[in-house]
Amino acid sequence: MNNLKLASVSALSIAAASMASSAQAEDLTLCWAAWDPANALVELSKEFEAQSGHTMSFEFIPWPNFADRMLNELNSGGKLCDLLIGDSQWIGGGAENGHYVKLNDFFDSEGISMSDFADATVYAYSTWPKGTPNYYALPAMGDANGWFYRKDWFARDDIKAAFKEATGRDLAEPKSQKELLEIAQFFQGREIDGKTVYGASIFTERGSEGITMGITSALYPWGFKYENTPGSYDMDGAVNSPEAVEALEFYKEFYETATPPGYTNSYMGESLDAFKSGQVAMAMNWFAFFPGLYADPNTGGEKIDFFVNPPQNQAGSTLGGQGISVVAYSDKQDAALEYIKWFANPDVQAKWWSLGGYSAHNSVLNDPGFKDSAPFAGDFLEAMGSVQDFWQEPAYAELLLAMQKRMHDYVVADQGTAQEALDKLVEDWTEVFEDEGKL
């Protein structure tokens, strides 16, 4: 009888447990951009599926359409995404418009501490208003704009000798923005192995964010500031400072004298193509692509090396990367939070880095072996120490599009002067902040 009771209780328990687990099992959809790290995340998430019983679906949007598609989704209160790895600049709009779930209580209850993540990434990817302990995302993917170059070309004796003769110094990774330009100009139009090659591919894209991300990589090392006093929206004299003008003129000179012909609208894809096809000696792009570049059978391995965006008046790199947020319109928020909890785990973060994702967790970044774990790991750490991001205001799209227009008009379309372009940018941004009621 006892055995019968025990068997009945066991059967009931198993049935109840299986019912409970099937009731909780959700199909979560994670939305992100379609690029190399997204594939790594699919691989990583298999572990979460096995542990939690939830299944994961992914919606990856090509970069040029990513912002449009996802911001429309959020603005319309869409339920497509339960989790969103959104750009850092969206955090203001995500928080103020109620698109993202505030995570403070969840972090407190689960013992997730933001001090476990790199300060720059927490500030950039998680907080709104900036710098306050109000968290709307967990740092998911650290990133910055960096450089890579043809190490095999830099090592050739004939090229080294020609460079020495032309510039009077040794050919090596540039230590300043001006050295970077000098090297790019040296390679521009040069014959290597019977093929004409060019200096570098840089960002000039007009439609989304390309040229802004490229130009800020010059502006920040020159000491560019968005405001005279942080939080004041007082931009005149900061955005159009003499240093900013000099940096902008530098970028235009770079575009005109050291890039391949026809690179009037190039961004990540074009930069990668130019490098992989052996067209350029150097290229700028996000660190996120570096693992794939290093693994490339034709131009990777021993043929490639990486360097951080060179300083000029100071060190400065353009911030990329994203935080992972729970979408407020999702019906599966509990399961989505489970994913965040799992993702914050140091072991998962270590695996994330090993698969090609850029973890922002201190346990990974501060590991003594981290710097040597990949040829670009040390550069990544260095870059993340001096990153600066674009406006993260709710009106960021208006601010970004204004900058795209002014910069493309000046750099690519050769209209007006750098001073005029930046003055007009200040006018545009002032109008946006006036409309926002912040000025």
What is the Cα 347 distance to its own chain's centre?
Answer: 23
Q: Which is nearer to another protein, 118 or 200 (CB)?
A: 200
Those residues whose C-beta lies under 8 Å from the C-beta of residue 182, and which sit 6 or more positions away, are 167, 174
In angstroms, rounded to a whole number, what is the distance separating the alpha carbons of residues 354 and 253? Answer: 39
Angle of helix 333-343 relative to helix 36-52, nearest 10 degrees, comes to 110
Q: Which range, of 14-22, 66-74, 216-224, 381-389, touches another protein by CB under 8 A? A: 66-74
264-303 footprint of another protein as x/- string (CB under 8 A)? xx--------------------------------------
Q: Which is nearer to another protein, 72 or 109 (CB)?
A: 72
Task: Rule CB under 8 A: say whether 413 interacts with another protein.
Answer: yes
195-201 vs 280-286, strand pairing mode: parallel
Task: Rule CB under 8 A: say whether 61 interacts with another protein.
Answer: no
Task: Rule CB under 8 A: say whether 409 interacts with another protein.
Answer: yes
Task: Rule CB under 8 A: say whether 68 interacts with another protein.
Answer: yes
- Count, residues near another protein per rule CB under 8 A: 28
Interface residue with another protein, options 320, 356, 408, 422 (CB under 8 A): 408
DSSP 145: E
Least distance to another protein, CB of residue 433, Å: 14
Task: Rule CB under 8 A: say whether 93 interacts with another protein.
Answer: yes
Q: Which is nearer to another protein, 168 or 262 (CB)?
A: 262
Task: Rule CB under 8 A: say whether 410 interacts with another protein.
Answer: yes
Distance (Å) of CA 22 to CA 17, 25, 26, 47, 331: 8, 5, 8, 18, 16
Least distance to another protein, CB of residue 109, Å: 28
153-192 footprint of another protein as x/- string (CB under 8 A)? ----------------------------------------
Those residues whose C-beta lies under 8 Å from the C-beta of residue 211, and which sit 6 or more positions away, are 203, 204, 205, 404, 407, 408, 411, 412
Structural tokens at position 331:
């019906």
Distance (Å) of CA 279 to CA 150, 197, 241, 265, 393: 10, 5, 35, 16, 38
Structural tokens at position 211:
């040229």
Task: Rule CB under 8 A: say whether 71 interacts with another protein.
Answer: yes
Query: Cα angle vertex 251, ends 245, 254, to 5°?
Result: 140
Residues 201-240 that bind another protein (CB under 8 A): 206-207
Backbone phi, then psi, for 348, in 5-degree steps?
Answer: -65, -40
Q: Which is nearer to another protein, 381 or 401 (CB)?
A: 401
Interface residue with another protein, options 244, 397, 422, 425 (CB under 8 A): 397
3-state secondary structure of 370: coil
Task: Rule CB under 8 A: say whether 333 interacts with another protein.
Answer: no
Residues that bind another protein (CB under 8 A): 68, 71-72, 75, 93, 97-98, 206-207, 260-265, 394, 397-398, 401, 405, 408-410, 412-415, 435
